[in-house]
Chain A
Amino acid sequence: MTTAGLHRPAPGTVPARAAGARRQRAAAGCRLVRLYLVSRRVPVALALLAGLGAVLWAALHWRWNIAGGPAAREFIPLTIQTGAAAVIAVASYGPFGEPERAAGRWLPWLRLGAAVALTAIAFGILAAGAAAGRMPGGTLALLRDLGGMTGIGLLSAAVLGGAFGWVGPMVYLLIIEGALAHRSVTPWVWPARPPHDRGGAICACLVVAAALVLIAVRGPRESSRESGRAS
């Protein structure tokens, strides 16, 4: 082994080869992210979220939450948020199983980033849809409720498997319904609390944080035979 051909850069300059390597790494990183998102069917998830935004817009514009008391008026938007949370939860699992988990160190960051990004996009889409009319609770309530609901969905995916990540948000929706009807005050049913309520916000944040940590570190529950067949 010799040092022939070893080039030393002039002090203060970035060698062209190093800059090219950095560009290659960045491009590879983008490709990795893109492939990860495609493997999770994120494009379909985005289309579904856009559809939910349209449904919310229609619901507010044509006043689907047309009657009943304040609790009843919240319910259609809450149902739509539940749908968004369900989509994000189902988009958390991949088809590869063990080979992916054994592959390297980027997977937790990819999981975390995808969950956060999808939630942020969902919030943006639903906030845009809410521009059609008066969203009960306003944007702050939307952020809290959607975030917390997504946390429940991700927890559900971690426990039941990604394919059944929708179950948790649906159960929670029914719990909210009962709580609204019976004027429950527990902060764990944060959609029943006022938008600026601190207790409800704290509970929602706790759920989101726990879900993100769990999803990032462990990922959705997968059975060994589910991999390779998930569509």
Chain B
Amino acid sequence: MNVEIGEVTKRFGRTFAVAGVSLETGPGVLGLLGPNGAGKTTLLRMMATLIPPSSGSVRLLGRDPAGYGPRREIRRRLGYLPQNLGYYPGFTVAEFVEYFALLKEMPPGRVPQAVATAIERVELGGRARAKLRTLSGGMLRRAGIAQAIVNEPELLLLDEPTAGLDPEQRVAFRALLRDLGQRATVIVSTHLVEDVGAACSQVALMDAGQIVFHGTPDELAAGGEGSGAAGDAPLERGYSAVLAAHRSAGAAA
């Protein structure tokens, strides 16, 4: 298992952004669904070793990120794309990806090839020398994906990766995810249910800081059958149904 999370909570003041989450996953693509404020980003940031949990245990790639040495080892094998991606406008695409390859302590001799490969994989090869300030929003997002995958990570965390991508690019991105998921653990936080359906072998649904569903997309879709829940597609109806059931169970309690 690359990700082993046990009863993790994260508290900000009096608010529990993550309120007792347990999750185990290995190679493959896990979709993380949930409404705004469900705690997806906070959970992802904990897995990215940016913030420690308030309680509970986290093991990533067989290591405890609480220790500096193990955390550094995790980060060498980690790829992370945050929801709000910043960038240095004066950098070119290649420099941006190279910069993060070097920060991830990739062997220097492998960096140029890795950078070129990553840029090609996100179909920015023709814009490798373009300054980031000249790119459209979707291209910037792809540059962000490139920096996340440049080191062939064993754990890849993507927060809203397809924001700004056109439909054709989203299709290609899903194929990339499936390929990456063959060797690595990929966790994708997204609002786009169709991305989950197309690329993910597992899906976890979060609400109010807790995981309320963990299974396959088919199982999630089945949860919406005959429920009368809102949605234009089976997965959307399953999503709505599971959320509604969790919330009504919570209200009853």
**A positions within 8 Å CB-CB of B:** 223-226, 229
Chain B residues with CB under 8 Å of A225's CB are: 89, 132-133
Size category of the binding interface on chain B: under 10
Chain A residues with CB under 8 Å of B89's CB are: 223, 225-226
Chain A residues with CB under 8 Å of B132's CB are: 225
The residue of chain A having its C-beta at the shortest distance from the C-beta of B86 within the complex is A229
B66-115, CB < 8 A from A: 86, 89
Kindly list the 8 A-B residue pairs having the minimum CB-CB distance in the complex, ordered from nearest: A225-B133, A225-B89, A223-B133, A229-B86, A223-B89, A224-B133, A226-B89, A225-B132
CB distance from A57 to the nearest CB of B (A): 39
B113-130, CB < 8 A from A: none
**B positions within 8 Å CB-CB of A:** 86, 89, 132-133
Chain B residues with CB under 8 Å of A223's CB are: 89, 133
Docked complex Cα distance between A164 and B89 (Å): 16
Supply 5 A–B pairs (Cβ within 8 Å), ascending by A.
A223-B133, A224-B133, A225-B89, A225-B132, A225-B133
The residue of chain B having its C-beta at the shortest distance from the C-beta of A226 within the complex is B89
Docked complex Cα distance between A48 and B237 (Å): 55
Docked complex Cα distance between A226 and B132 (Å): 12
The residue of chain A having its C-beta at the shortest distance from the C-beta of B84 within the complex is A228
CB distance from A82 to the nearest CB of B (A): 28
Docked complex Cα distance between A223 and B90 (Å): 12
Chain A residues with CB under 8 Å of B86's CB are: 229
Docked complex Cα distance between A18 and B86 (Å): 48
Docked complex Cα distance between A224 and B132 (Å): 12
Q: Which of A223, A224, A225, A226 has the most CB of B within 10 A?
A: A225
Docked complex Cα distance between A223 and B133 (Å): 9
Chain B residues with CB under 8 Å of A229's CB are: 86
CB distance from B164 to the nearest CB of A (A): 14
Chain B residues with CB under 8 Å of A224's CB are: 133
Docked complex Cα distance between A24 and B126 (Å): 54
The residue of chain A having its C-beta at the shortest distance from the C-beta of B90 within the complex is A225
Docked complex Cα distance between A225 and B140 (Å): 12
CB distance from B179 to the nearest CB of A (A): 32
Chain A residues with CB under 8 Å of B133's CB are: 223-225
CB distance from B90 to the nearest CB of A (A): 9
Question: Beyond the given A225-B132, A225-B133, could you list 6 further A-B residue pairs with CB under 8 A, ordered by the A residue number?
Answer: A223-B89, A223-B133, A224-B133, A225-B89, A226-B89, A229-B86
The residue of chain A having its C-beta at the shortest distance from the C-beta of B135 within the complex is A225
Docked complex Cα distance between A226 and B89 (Å): 8
Docked complex Cα distance between A226 and B133 (Å): 9
The residue of chain A having its C-beta at the shortest distance from the C-beta of B131 within the complex is A225
Docked complex Cα distance between A88 and B169 (Å): 45
Docked complex Cα distance between A229 and B133 (Å): 12
CB distance from A94 to the nearest CB of B (A): 18
CB distance from B141 to the nearest CB of A (A): 15
Docked complex Cα distance between A48 and B132 (Å): 34
Docked complex Cα distance between A84 and B133 (Å): 32
Docked complex Cα distance between A107 and B47 (Å): 44
The residue of chain A having its C-beta at the shortest distance from the C-beta of B88 within the complex is A225
The residue of chain A having its C-beta at the shortest distance from the C-beta of B140 within the complex is A225
Docked complex Cα distance between A229 and B89 (Å): 11
Docked complex Cα distance between A223 and B88 (Å): 13
Docked complex Cα distance between A225 and B135 (Å): 10
CB distance from B140 to the nearest CB of A (A): 10
The residue of chain A having its C-beta at the shortest distance from the C-beta of B89 within the complex is A225
Docked complex Cα distance between A214 and B86 (Å): 31
The residue of chain B having its C-beta at the shortest distance from the C-beta of A224 within the complex is B133
CB distance from B217 to the nearest CB of A (A): 35
Docked complex Cα distance between A58 and B250 (Å): 63
Chain B residues with CB under 8 Å of A226's CB are: 89
Docked complex Cα distance between A225 and B130 (Å): 14
The residue of chain A having its C-beta at the shortest distance from the C-beta of B132 within the complex is A225
Docked complex Cα distance between A224 and B133 (Å): 8
CB distance from A208 to the nearest CB of B (A): 32
CB distance from A171 to the nearest CB of B (A): 23
The residue of chain A having its C-beta at the shortest distance from the C-beta of B134 within the complex is A225
CB distance from B221 to the nearest CB of A (A): 37
CB distance from B86 to the nearest CB of A (A): 7
